[in-house]
């Protein structure tokens, strides 16, 4: 494993649930009801997941295959993981340092940039408005945002939410914004005058800007600012107290620092980025614990109706009838190369951070993790779910 001078004196620092019968939580992190009893029921599986997460941190994750790294393993500055089973957070743990300079240990309360996992959060807000009759998925986006220019073709909310609307993605080498956008509508200026890159419905074109447009749809439909709606109607209702916009000017308790891996194996601070241009597409901070809470709410009717969940979590089709493996805000598949189970998921990457959120509906399991490095391959962590699917505690459940 490549060891950097930064890590010459790094020791393991973690806080969360250990593989014991009792729950040991950071003081700032509260479990869901009955989490302690759920932890006891899954003590063996928690132990196995702990060992997987600890190995990923201690032995490092693979760096990019390209020179100069050639896939060598490097410790992430910090790694945080969480797992929920049957709606209960049974395991949460953090390793490493949220801030390398100040030697601040990561805890389960540390907030990471979650990048594109902001999209399923936004999709949940769309679902709320739709099931209350305030939004039609098949209506043109211009019905709700008439100031958005006519593109010469009808672009619907459903198409934009499924990356079938023809809204462009990032241009090659498009720089991150270092300017603050005071409103959602002002951030539309980055792409509003660009032509469609495909006719609506014909081709899957992944677009964070499409979700920026959808945040304007939410704002105009709900009659309140997008961030206020997310805070009050989504995060507040679901108990996601650690999910907030990554506002660089705000004092955000427990926010991590962001790092980029260098050619010599050391870390440097990531360049400054102001994510206000894409709150809905990739601008939120969260914790894995909050993310599995959210994921658990997306597996059963309650917060959203069964009909709405089916829309969000069912693959859309192109005009030619080809499945896109994307619903509205979620990738969906019958299996992945890591596990042969139906999976609803989204990953996220932002400057100096990566995250993953995976839902396994057949087992009622949700897994999430995040790290404050944007370059390391996190495939090793897909194994976190295996003990809960294949372990002895599954028998008779």
pLDDT digits (tens, 9 = 90+) for 349-374: 999 999 999 999 999 999 999 999 99
> In this structure, are 148 and 296 located in the same domain?
no
Instruction: Name the 3-class secondary structure at 53.
Output: helix
Q: How many other CB atoms sit within 10 Å of the CB of residue 243?
A: 25
Residue 3 lies in a domain: no
CA gap 114, 129 in Å, rounded: 24
Domain end (from 222, 257, 292):
222
Q: Does 235 map to a domain?
A: no
pLDDT at 139: 98
Task: Say yes or no to pLDDT of 23 above 70.
Answer: no
Q: Compute φ and ψ for 144, nearest 5 degrees.
A: -95, -30
Of 33-37, 213-217, 270-274, least confident by mean pLDDT is: 33-37
The count of other CB atoms within 10 Å of the CB of residue 305 is 15
Q: Report phi then psi at 99, rounded to 5.
A: -140, 110
Question: Tokens 């759920």 — which residue?
Answer: 38
Is the same domain home to 248 and 379? yes
Q: Are residues 346 and 217 both part of a single domain?
A: no
Candidates 217, 30, 60, 66; CA nearest to 130 is 217
Question: Is the distance from CB of 43 to CB of 20 less than 8 angstroms?
Answer: yes
Q: What is the pLDDT of residue 37?
A: 66
Instruction: Give the pLDDT score at 174.
Output: 85
Average pLDDT over residues 32-48: 75
Give the predicted TM-score (pTM) of the model: 0.90
Do 274 and 316 lie in one domain? The reply is yes
Q: Which of 190, 222, 254 is the last residue of a domain?
A: 222
24 shares a domain with 90: yes
On whether the CB atoms of residues 357 and 115 are closer than 8 A, the answer is no
Q: Does residue 231 form part of some domain?
A: no
Of the candidates 226, 221, 197, the one whose C-alpha atom is nearest the C-alpha of residue 146 is 221
Q: What is the pLDDT of residue 30?
A: 36
In-domain check, residue 187: yes
Q: How confident is the model at residue 36 (pLDDT cuts 50, 70, 90)?
A: low
Q: Summarize the chain as % helix, strand, coil (round to 5).
A: 30, 20, 50
* pLDDT tens digits, 227-265: 999 999 999 999 999 999 999 999 999 999 999 999 888
Q: What percent of the chain has pLDDT over 70?
A: 88
CATH of the domain at 48: 3.40.710.10
For residue 51, the model assigns a pLDDT of: 97
Q: Quick one: pLDDT band at residue 184, thresholds 50, 70, 90? A: very high
Tell me how many domains the chain contains: 2
Considering the domain architecture, whether residues 134 and 267 belong to the same structural domain is answered as no
Residue 25 in this model has a pLDDT that exceeds 50: no
Domain-located, residue 229: no
Answer yes or no: is 6 within a domain. no
Residue 311 within a domain: yes
CA 360, 362, 364 angle in degrees (round to 5)? 60
- If asked whether residues 254 and 302 sit together in one domain, one would say yes
pLDDT of residue 150: 97
Written as one string, the DSSP assignment of 166-218 is ----PPTTPPPP-S--SSHHHHGGGTTTSPPSS-TTT-----HHHHHHHHHHH
Residue 337: pLDDT band (50, 70, 90) is: low
- Average pLDDT, stretch 322-332? 98
Residues facing residue 80 across a β-bridge: 94, 370
Q: Do 326 and 200 lie in a common domain?
A: no
Average pLDDT over residues 203-225: 98
Q: Sort strands 365-371 and 267-269 into parallel, antiparallel or unpaired.
A: unpaired
- Same domain as 318, residue 213: no
| Residue 163 and residue 84 share a domain | no
> Model confidence over 103-160: pLDDT tens digits?
999 999 999 999 999 999 999 999 999 999 999 999 999 999 999 999 999 999 999 9
- One domain, residues 184 and 147: yes
The tokens for 387 are 């003990």
Say what the pLDDT of residue 369 is.
98
pLDDT value at 395 more than 60: no
- Give me the domain span that covers residue 216: 123-222
pLDDT for position 102: 97
Q: How high is the pLDDT of residue 202?
A: 98
User: Which class for 281: exposed (0-12), middle (13-18), buried (19 or more C-beta within 10 A)?
Assistant: buried
Q: Backbone phi, then psi, for 15, in 5-degree steps?
A: -150, 140
Which residues are paired to 267 by β-bridges?
261
Which pLDDT band holds residue 14 (cuts at 50, 70, 90)?
Answer: very low
Q: What average pLDDT does the structure give for the chain?
A: 89
Please identify, among 187, 222, 257, the residue that sits at the C-terminal boundary of a domain.
Answer: 222
Tell whether 95 is covered by a domain: yes
Residue 12 has pLDDT above 80, yes or no: no
In this structure, the answer to whether residues 103 and 250 fall within a common structural domain is yes
Here the tokens at position 241 are: 């107290």
């Amino acid at each position: 494993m490549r060891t950097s001078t930064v890590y010459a004196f790094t020791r393991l620092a973690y806080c969360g649930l250990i593989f014991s019968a009792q729950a040991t939580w950071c003081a700032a992190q509260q479990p869901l009801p009955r989490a302690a009893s759920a932890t006891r029921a899954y003590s063996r599986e928690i132990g196995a997941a702990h060992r997987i997460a600890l190995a990923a941190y201690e032995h490092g994750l693979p760096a990019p295959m390209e020179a100069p790294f050639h896939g060598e393993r490097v410790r992430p500055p910090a790694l945080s993981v969480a797992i929920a089973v049957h709606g209960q957070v049974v395991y949460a743990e953090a390793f490493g340092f949220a801030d390398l300079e100040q030697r601040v240990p990561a805890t389960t309360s540390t907030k990471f940039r979650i990048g594109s996992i902001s999209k399923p959060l936004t999709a949940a807000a769309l679902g709320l408005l739709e099931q209350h009759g305030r939004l039609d998925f098949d209506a043109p986006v211009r019905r709700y945002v008439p100031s958005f220019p006519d593109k010469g073709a009808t672009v619907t909310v459903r198409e934009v939410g499924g990356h079938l609307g023809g809204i462009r993605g990032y241009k090659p080498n498009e720089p991150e914004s270092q300017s603050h956008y005071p409103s959602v509508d002002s951030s539309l200026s980055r792409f509003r005058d660009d032509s469609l890159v495909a006719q609506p419905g014909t081709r899957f074109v992944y677009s964070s800007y499409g979700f920026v447009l959808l945040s304007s749809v939410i704002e105009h439909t709900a009659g309140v600012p997008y961030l206020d709606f997310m805070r009050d109607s989504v995060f507040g209702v679901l108990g996601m107290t650690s999910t907030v916009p990554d506002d660089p000017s705000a004092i955000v308790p427990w926010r991590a620092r962001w790092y980029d891996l260098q050619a010599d194996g050391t870390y440097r601070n990531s360049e400054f980025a102001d994510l206000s241009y894409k709150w809905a597409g990739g601008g939120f901070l969260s914790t894995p614990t909050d993310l599995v809470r959210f994921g658990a709410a997306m597996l059963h009717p309650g917060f959203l109706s069964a009909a709405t969940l089916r829309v969000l979590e069912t693959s859309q089709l192109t005009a030619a009838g080809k499945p896109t493996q994307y619903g509205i805000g979620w990738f969906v598949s019958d299996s992945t190369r890591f596990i042969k189970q139906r999976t609803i998921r989204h990953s996220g990457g932002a400057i100096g951070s990566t995250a993953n959120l995976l839902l396994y509906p057949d087992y009622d399991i949700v897994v999430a993790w995040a790290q404050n490095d944007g370059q390391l391959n996190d495939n090793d962590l897909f194994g976190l779910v295996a003990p809960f699917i294949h372990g002895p505690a599954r028998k008779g459940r």
